[in-house]
A and B are shown apart, each in its own frame.
Chain A
Amino acid sequence: MKFRQSLYTATFLTAVLVLWYVLYKSYGPTVLTPPWATLRKATDLLTSPIYWPHFGESIRAFLIALVIAFVVGTFGGVILGGWRPCGEVVEPLLAVINSLPKVALYPVILLTFGLGLWAKVVFGALHGVIPIMISSLAAVRNINPVFTHAARAMHLTRWQMIRRIWIPACIPEIFSGLRFGFSLTLLGTIFGEFFASQRGFGFLLMNAIDLRDVRTIMALILILVVFAVISSSALLAIDRRLHRRQV
């Protein structure tokens, strides 16, 4: 079965490469670069020290945003999940905020935090925090009541209850939320760099459009896609393992 799955994956990747090559052949080199040349350009970008500050800036902004989104989201979600009336009041508000185009708020953030690292960080965190909050809220609320009853029957202290019951029961769901939050925070951070930014990955992309430098655009996209797919597959694997452990 495992062999079969990797065969399917290989077929899909081959199909993507073939499609890419066909598009390249039909549109020509002014519009697209072929797979091999793009990969070479991407390694050039990653190995030339002039670009390191840009990648470093993006990675720093992304990580800070992720930490903020995770801490605020988890704490908020646990409180809202544990305190039922408060959760009932706030949850629909979260759902509405989640569906709004947050892009429209970016100028407000720029005006408040100024141009630079913190505007990107806040914008990234803003994207990630609500999904994380919603899933940790659900995690706390959906703890199987049997667990709590059993714990009470065994006279567990409050601390033991948190350590032995609540945390293990919530972790899989909270981790799934973190997985969504990861992608959305990445989106927010990159978007923050597209607009009114002087450094970072998004800035490089915008700069490449102005220069109509297709090679750089495609190489940057390739770098980001590879980064996103690898990190998300790793998170997905951990996620599956956590959910399997919990029976």
Chain B
Amino acid sequence: MSRYGWIRLAIVAGAALILEVLCRSHIVSRLIMIPPSEMLISAWQILASGAIKDDIYVSVVNICTAIALSISGGFFIGLAIFSLPALRATLEPFLASYYSVPPIVFYPLLIVIFGINQIPQIIIAVMFGLVTMVINTINGLDRIRPVLLKVGRVHRASFLVTVFRIKLPAAAPYLFIGVTLAVSYSIIGVISSEFIMSAVGIGHQISYAYDSYDNRTMYGLIALVLGIATLLNMSLHVYSQRLLRRWTR
């Protein structure tokens, strides 16, 4: 690891240590926060006891469904918008201001339409994740340098070779930005909607623990969610960097 990496680690560890000391010495009341070490123990116990196995399962399935729909849907919609100039001119102003409307305000309406189940949650998560994939797909396709396509034509590259050897690798950096954002937005969408109103899910369990003053469980679950999200984001980052290196070699 680089020197900066070590400093970064030290900062995170230092922050956790300060929090631990503050909580242990009761400067921060236990009613507000429990020491980080206890959060981790509680997270481990929640996992080991299997008490909320079903909630984790439901959340993970919803998140994965939303990710799959956002990425595939976003890619193909982006492709369609890129290839049809009239559609593009129509939609572009709205894409630019899409994220100014918090999708979560539609959740109440979706609950009235579909009831309290997984469908509104997945729709909200897709509303969060889809458009960033669309925007980044268009961005990526825009940035393919014409000279690359010309070189392909000079070498009489077939359609498939052009797509897989030239277009995709050239657009890849932006596609990966889209994928990374779609993943984290899908997680945010699912957990948020579970949090507001739901019958199952990790988000629901956090708000349930909050309502029943069960700080230990609540902080354990929060640590769990943040841990899962960080792990997912970081592995995606490492994987995309590796793929990018191979494609742009």
Query: A residues engaging B (CB < 8 A)?
Result: 4-5, 8-9, 11-12, 27, 31-32, 85, 88-90, 92-93, 96, 98-108, 110-112, 180, 182-183, 186-187, 190-191, 194-196, 205-206, 208-209, 212, 214, 217-218, 220-221, 224-225, 228-229, 231-233, 236
Complex Cα–Cα for A217 and B109 (A): 7
Q: In the complex, what's the smallest C-beta–C-beta distance from B128 to chain A, in angstroms?
A: 10
User: What are some 10 contacts across the A-B interface (CB < 8 A)?
Assistant: A8-B90, A31-B113, A32-B113, A101-B229, A102-B188, A112-B33, A186-B100, A190-B104, A214-B109, A224-B105
Residue of A99, A112, A183 with most chain B CB atoms under a 10 A cut-off: A99
Q: How far is the CA of A112 from the CA of B219 in the complex (A)?
A: 13
A117 to chain B, nearest CB (A): 18
Nearest chain A CB to B149 CB, angstrom units: 27
Residues of chain A within 8 A of B229, CB atoms compared: 99-101
Q: Measured between alpha carbons, how far is A67 from B216 in the docked complex, in Å?
A: 34
Is A103's CB under 8 angstroms from B203's CB?
yes
Verify A111–B31 contact, CB threshold 8 A: yes
Residues on the A chain within 8 Å of B195, using CB: 103-104, 106, 195
Chain A binding site: helix, strand, loop or mixed by DSSP?
helix
CB-defined contacts of B99 to chain A, threshold 8 Å: 180, 183
Are A214 and B225 within 8 A (Cβ)?
no
Q: A8-B89, A96-B230 are in contact. Are A233 and B102 (CB under 8 A)?
A: no
A101 to B192, CA, bound (A): 8
Chain B residues with CB under 8 A of A218: 109
Q: Which residue of B lies closest to A205 (CB)?
A: B108
Residue of A nearest to B197 (CB): A209
Q: Which of B97, B101, B192 makes the CB contact (< 8 A) with A224?
A: B101
Q: Which of B6-14, B50-58, B163-171 forms contacts with chain A?
A: B6-14
* Given A89-B11, A93-B8, A111-B32, CB of A208 within 8 Å of CB of B108: yes
B188 A103 Cβ-Cβ under 8 A: yes
A106 to B209, CA, bound (A): 13
Q: Does B218 contact A (CB under 8 A)?
A: yes
Docked-complex contact A225 and B7, CB < 8 angstroms = no
Taking CB as reference atom, which chain B residue is nearest A30? B112
Q: Chain A: which residue is nearest B87 at the CB level?
A: A8
Interchain nearest-CB distance for B173 vs A (Å): 15
Task: Closest B residue to A113 by CB, please name it.
Answer: B32
Q: Could you say which interface size class chain B belongs to?
A: 35 or more
Q: Does B184 contact A (CB under 8 A)?
A: yes
Among B33, B101, B104, B112, which residue has its beta carbon within 8 angstroms of that of A229? B101
B109 touches A89 (CB 8 A): no
Question: B222 on the interface (CB 8 Å rule)?
Answer: yes
Q: For the complex, what is the distance from the CA of A194 to the CA of B93, rounded to whole Å?
A: 29
Given A183-B102, A229-B97, A232-B100, 6 other A-B residues pairs in contact with their CB atoms under 8 A: A12-B90, A99-B180, A101-B191, A209-B112, A218-B109, A228-B102
Residues of B within 8 A of A108 (CB): 33, 219, 222
Cβ of B102: which chain A residues have Cβ within 8 Å of it?
183, 186-187, 190-191, 224, 228
B89 close to A229 (CB less than 8 A) = no
Q: Shortest beta-carbon distance, A209 to chain B, in Å?
A: 4
A103 touches which one: B89, B105, B184, B192 (CB < 8 A)? Answer: B192
Which residues of B from 204 to 249 have beta carbons under 8 Å from A? 206-207, 209-210, 215, 218-219, 221-222, 225-226, 229-230, 233-234
* Chain B residues, CB < 8 A from A183: 99-102
Kindly state whether residue B147 has any CB partner on chain A within 8 Å.
no
Contacting pair B233 A99 (CB below 8 A): yes
Decide if A12 touches B94 in the complex (CB within 8 Å): yes
- On chain A, the residues within 8 Å of B159 by CB distance are none
Interface flag for B106 (CB, 8 Å): yes
Tell whether, in the assembled complex, residue B101 and residue A225 are in contact, meaning their CB atoms are under 8 Å apart: yes
Kindly state the separation between the CA atoms of A221 and B209 in the bound complex, as whole angstroms.
29
Shortest beta-carbon distance from B180 to chain A in Å: 7
B119 on the interface (CB 8 Å rule)? no
Closest Cβ–Cβ distance, residue B163 to chain A (whole Å)? 29
State A110–B106 Cα separation when bound (angstroms).
24
B96 touches A93 (CB 8 A): no
Nearest chain A CB to B160 CB, angstrom units = 34
